[in-house]
Amino acid sequence: MSQAPRVRILLSETYNPWFNLATEDWIFRELDPSAQTLFLWRNDNTVVIGRNQNPWSECNLTRMEEDKVFLARRTSGGGAVFHDLGNTCFTFLSAKEGYNKTANITILLDALSRLGVKAQASGRNDLVIPLEDGPRKISGSAYRETKDRAFHHGTFLIGADLTRLSNYLTPHPKKLESKGSASVRSRVMNIRDLQPEASHEALVEAMIGAFCDFHGATAEPELLEPSFLESQPSLKRTFDHYASWDWRFGNAPRFSHQMVEYLSWGFFEVHVDAENGHVTRAQVFSDALYPDLVQDLQAALVGKPHSRDGMRQAVAEARSRHPAQERELGELEAWLMGQVEV
Ligand SMILES: Nc1ncnc2c1ncn2[C@@H]1O[C@H](COP(=O)(O)OC(=O)CCCC[C@@H]2CCSS2)[C@@H](O)[C@H]1O
């Protein structure tokens, strides 16, 4: 007779998405291959984009910055999602032989039914509630596999702020063409709208019950103390990686951005191509009276990050050669900085 797999249940106590993603990564790397592991966690105030996504085209970075919303990039594919404390995340981690997406979906649906919620799996990645006017998404999943291990992680919308969700996932209007994957925008709803008693705590309990019953094993949930995790040098390095501009923005797929504006001193059309979040090619068209300045700006943009700092640096270079146009360059700088958003 084959032995029931050992199960491990880990609970995070922090709401910082970079820390939680680093913890997930750490669990994945340190994984006991003979066990089925379930990690349950929450992020506050966060948009998480997929590995191949462009933050400038997927989310509203201006609003996110105004409201101090974290941007995180994960290592799995798929689209952009919003998290607050009304959203609960789960991760199933195992060795590749023990990886079974269908089993995970059975566990997720069982956990929901323990809360009195009848959901269905839809497409490849979503759990939905079938309503009369069409399905509403309550959960989205994404996946990662390496040579010998795999994880499946996802969300549960329990009582998230859906206005904020939609605000941050509606990008600032701009002309931007990007490679990479686009999110599949869905109609969403909260579990609490069906089941007012639903809560993070109740879902955690239901998930643990469904997971243990499915695998025919039990385990005491392990609380991951932030102080313990902080003392792990590899986790600290991974945290720094998740928090870095290079991972979150610089890892964007190639894109081009066209910016057009009538400034008080002339019409401007600025086209930039960006790779790794940095401008690789720039063209500036303008009917302004200072053609040399326009040329200098065009040259200065190349190599700069597609960021406010990058725009500031490019304009500063133009300013050093055209000090008399201080006022005009100030206006240009403010416009360009608004266009790149972060
Ligand atoms: N929190 C949350 N849960 C479910 N669906 C959401 C959420 N936020 C936004 N959406 C809706 O899903 C689409 C994007 O769907 P799409 O299918 O493109 O992407 C996903 O679902 C990815 C799920 C990733 C789960 C990870 C688990 C740990 S860290 S993030 C978006 O446009 C909204 O309509």
pLDDT tens profile 137-152:
999 999 999 999 999 9
Q: Nearest Cα to 115, choosing from 245, 211, 210, 44? A: 210
Q: Is the pLDDT of residue 194 over 70?
A: yes
pLDDT at 4: 67
Cβ(178) – ligand 1 distance below 6 Å = no
Q: Summarize the confidence of residues 148-161 as an average pLDDT.
A: 98
* Residues 46/146/149/182 CA torsion (nearest 10 deg): 30
Higher pLDDT, 17 or 173: 17
Whether the Cβ atoms of residue 333 and residue 265 lie closer than 8 Å to each other: no
Atom 9 (ligand 1) nearest CA: 81
Domain 6-248 has CATH 3.40.50.970: no
Strands of 264-326 (E only): list them.
266-275, 278-286
pLDDT at 173: 86
Task: From 12, 81, 83, give the residue whose CB has the most ligand 1 atoms within 8 Å, as the site to mutate.
Answer: 81
Cβ(152) – ligand 1 distance below 6 Å = no
Strand, coil or helix: what is 277? Answer: coil
Q: Is the pLDDT of residue 24 over 80?
A: yes
Residues 27-55: tens digit of each pLDDT:
999 998 999 999 999 999 999 999 999 99
Fold annotation for 255-340: Enolase-like; domain 1 (3.30.390)
Provide the 8-state DSSP code for 172.
P
Q: Summarize the confidence of residues 236-246 as an average pLDDT.
A: 96
- The order of strands in the sheet holding 278-286 is 175-178, 255-263, 266-275, 278-286
pLDDT at 279: 98
Cβ(81) – ligand 1 distance below 6 Å = yes
Place of tokens 């269905």: 120
CB atoms within 10 A of CB 320: 10
Residue ranges covered by each domain of the chain: 6-248, 255-340
Cβ(159) – ligand 1 distance below 6 Å = no
Give the pLDDT band of residue 278 (cuts 50, 70, 90).
very high
Q: Summarize the confidence of residues 316-339 as an average pLDDT.
A: 98
Cβ(83) – ligand 1 distance below 6 Å = yes
Query: What is the rounded average pLDDT for all residues in the chain?
Result: 96
pLDDT at 235: 93
Q: Is the pLDDT of residue 1 over 60?
A: no
> 252-285 b/e with 16+ CB inside 10 Å = b?
bbebebebeeeeebeebebbbbbeebbbeebebe
pLDDT at 124: 74
